[in-house]
Amino acid sequence: MLPAILIPGINMNRIVTAWIPSPAKKLIKHYIGWNTGPVSASRHWVRIVMDKETALFMKTLNPSTIDAVEISGNDKWKNFGFRSYRSLNYPDFDICQSSTEIKYDLLIAEQVLEHVLNPRTALQNMYNCLKPGGILFISTPFLIRIHGYPVDVSRWTELGMKGLLHETGFDVFHLQSWGNRQCVIANLCDEWILYKPRIHSLQNDPRFPVVVWAFARR
């Protein structure tokens, strides 16, 4: 039965491959939310609420007056309407090794901090990339499986993220998380789960945060 996809440890991809006729496989995977091609961040179940809420909050910052730099590696915010936008990608730019000569109003680091060996050093360098009063937007996963790009090191709750940011000199002014039990269990499978409105709940359960994000000021 399809609900079995939520049982950790079961490789449903192998079961579907072995027992379902080929013409039906792609349709079934699409319906239950398995990724059958390149992952689109805007459709990833764990990102749906986060993407919506962070975009709404970002608009309150008056982006047309902001010089932004993104180190998330996917140019996601390139067309958001910032006064200027720059993307710096690893390994050409390593936030654990250096900061930028140019100072920015906003630094975006989505799903970055969990992949660095020294998050405090990374945050200190992010701090140094910003103008006085500049803003850091950061997001990280919490209850989600290990995924090395190239390594996967750390996790933080809302309180843990707030404490870490304060330790490195930031003043957190917006902090939020999202998740629920079903999303946590589903993402223990081998495949990343794409959002399907028919079957996936976006209701938040604070006991099971999947992603955490914060806006903090230098």
pTM of the model: 0.80
H/E run at residue 14: helix 12-19
The answer to whether the CB of 200 falls within 8 A of the CB of 182 is yes
Give the percent of the chain with pLDDT over 90.
65
- Assigned CATH for 39-217: 3.40.50.150
Regions of the chain where pLDDT drops below 70:
1-42
Residues in CB range of 186: below 8 A, 6 or more apart: 5, 6, 33, 45, 193, 200
Helix axes 158-167, 119-129, angle to 10 degrees: 60
Residue 186, classified by CB atoms within 10 Å of its CB into exposed (0-12), middle (13-18) or buried (19+), is buried
Exposure letters 197-211 (e unless 16+ CB within 10 A, then b)? eeebeeebeeebbbb
Strands 130-141 and 104-110: what pairing?
A: parallel
Asked whether the beta carbons of 179 and 152 are under 8 A apart, the reply is: no
Residue ranges of the alpha helices (H) in 71-196? 119-129, 158-167, 181-186
For residue 12, the surrounding DSSP H or E stretch is helix 12-19
pLDDT for res 8: 47
Give the model's pLDDT for residue 138.
Answer: 97
Domain-wise residue ranges, the chain: 39-217
Q: What is the pLDDT of residue 149?
A: 77
